[in-house]
Amino acid sequence: MIRSFSAFWHSDFGWKFRHSPTAILSALVTLLLVGAAIAAPLIAPFDPFNSASLNLMNGFSAPMTPNAFTGQVFLLGADDQGRDVFSTILYGLRVSLFVGVSAVLFAMVLGVTLGLIAGYVGGRVDGFIMRVADIQLTFPAILVAMLIFGIAKGIIAPQYRDQMAIWVLIIAIGLSDWVPFARVVRGATMVEKNRDYVQAARLIGRKPVAIMVLHILPNVLNPILVIATISLALAIIAEATLSFLGVGAPPTQPSLGTLIRIGQTFLFSGEWWILLFPAATLLALALAVNSLGDWLRDALNPRLK
């Protein structure tokens, strides 16, 4: 671990990283937020998911101001349900990041697999997969996600919906995001397919797929990493937008998007902290991940020195 870090630090890539304030800053912010999300149960002063510990009377407490009824003080205030905003943000980050990362992983696995199949098999299968990709691209993520959400709501029994909502979100967002992965992998596969070693493997009767995967994946690792980073930011925003349309994470298990949806209703009434802090967190997260993705794309692209 330490050695690979040191290898990274002293590599060419590491040098570029060290000399880019943007990269360092966004990496730091990302690490900080991811760390906070992972450690949420340890650092959050309250568990907002534990309904038994809530006191509605704490509702709308201003930041750092004792509540008029209970006298409790909240660092970033309390929301409409009396939940500590700081804690809900930590837990909301957890949900947002979990949804985002899982959705991107899902999209990645789906896209890489379909890309490999399309590139390797070619012909009608390729045509079919890429046609589906075209259609998928034309259909905006929001509509796809709404569609899947609608279907899932109907299929899943009401008593399981709040637990399933997160998974439905992951699938909905992931499913609308696989195409770039598939395109990159398909291109690489088509190049690799005609290489000698693949032909040779085929001649001696070995299944070349496994070998190809081993050869192709390292080649496309960089673009996949870049796509994944940018998709992550997109997925986090998409989740927030779906929450606004009322098809996101449930309010009892809020994501940053849900918190913003709830918070925006208090924009005019003066309880700015319910909107501002989650929105700032989302902005920081998306901004950091986005600029990291930007930087990665430039740094990993040898032609764009």
Partner 1 sequence: MKRSLFLSTAIAVLSWGAATQAETLRWALAGDALTLDPHAQNEGVTIMLQSQMMEPLVSRAPTGELEATLATEWAVKADDPNVWVFKLREGVTFHDGATFDSEDVVFSMDRARSEASQMKGIIASVAEVRATGPYEVEIVTNGPNPILPAALTSIMMLDKGWTEANNAVTVQNVAAGEVTFSSTNVNGTGPYTLVSREADARTVMRAFDGYWGKDTFPLAYSEIIFTPIQNASTRVAALLSGELDFIQDVPVQDIDRVKGTAGLKVESSSENRSVFFGLNVSDTLVAGNIDGKNPLADVRVRQAINMTINRDAIRDVVMRGQSVPAGIIMPPFVNGWTEELNAYPAPDNEAAKALLAEAGYPNGFPITLDCPNDRYINDEAICQATVGMLGQIGIQARLNATSKALFFPQVNAMETDFYMLGWGVPSYDSEYIFNFLYHTRDESYGSWNSTRYSNAELDAQIKAIAAEVDLPKRDAMIAQMWETAKNDLAYIPIHHQMLNWAMKDGLTVTVDPDNQARVKYFALN
Partner 2 sequence: MLAFLIRRLFQSVVVLLVVGAVSFGMFRFIGDPVNNMLGQERTQADIADLRERLGLDRSVFVQYAVFLRNAAQGDFGVSYRQGRPVADIIAERAPATLELAAVSGVMALVFGIGLGVITAIKRDSLVSSTIMTLSLVGVSLPTFLIGILLIYVLSVQLEWLPSFGRGETVRVGGWTTGFLTQSGLVALILPAITLGLYQMTLIMRIVRSEMLEVLRQDYIRFARARGLRERSINFRHALKNTLVPVITVTGLQMGSIIAFSIITETVFQWPGMGLLFINAVQFVDIPVMAAYLMLISVLFVSINLVVDLLYFAIDPRLSIERVKA
Residues forming the site for partner 2 (CB under 8 A): 127, 131, 134-135, 137-143, 147, 150-155, 233-234, 237, 240-241, 244-245, 257, 260, 264, 267-268, 279, 282-283, 286-287, 290-291, 294, 297, 303-304
Judged by CB, which is closer to partner 1: 78, or 212? 78
Find the binder of partner 1 among 6, 51, 65, 199 (CB under 8 A): 51
- Residue 89: exposed, middle, or buried by beta-carbon count in 10 A (0-12, 13-18, 19+)? buried
Instruction: Tell me how far the alpha carbon of residue 94 is from its chain's centroid.
Output: 11
The whole-angstrom separation of Cα 29 and Cα 285 is 7
By CB under 8 A, which span of 55-63, 98-106, 171-179, 184-192 interacts with partner 1? 55-63
- C-beta of 83 vs 186, nearer to partner 1: 83
Tokens of 193: 């397919």
Give the integer Cα–Cα distance in Å for 171 and 164: 11
What is residue 81's three-state secondary structure?
coil
Q: Which of residues 131-160 bind partner 1 (CB under 8 A)?
A: 153, 157-159
Q: Say whether residue 57 binds partner 1 (CB under 8 A).
A: yes
Helix axes 158-175, 85-121, angle to 10 degrees: 50
Contact 216, 148 (CB under 8 A): no
Q: Indicate the residue among 87 and 290 with the shorter CB distance to partner 2.
A: 290
- Rule CB under 8 A: say whether 65 interacts with partner 1: no
In whole angstroms, how far apart are CA 11 and each of 3, 4, 17, 28, 295?
12, 10, 10, 19, 16
Instruction: Pick one of partner 2, partner 1, none as the site partner of residue 221 (Cβ within 5 to 8 A by kind).
Output: none
Give contact residues for partner 1 (rule: CB under 8 A).
Answer: 50-52, 54, 56-57, 59-60, 80-82, 153, 157-159, 161-163, 246, 250-252, 264-271
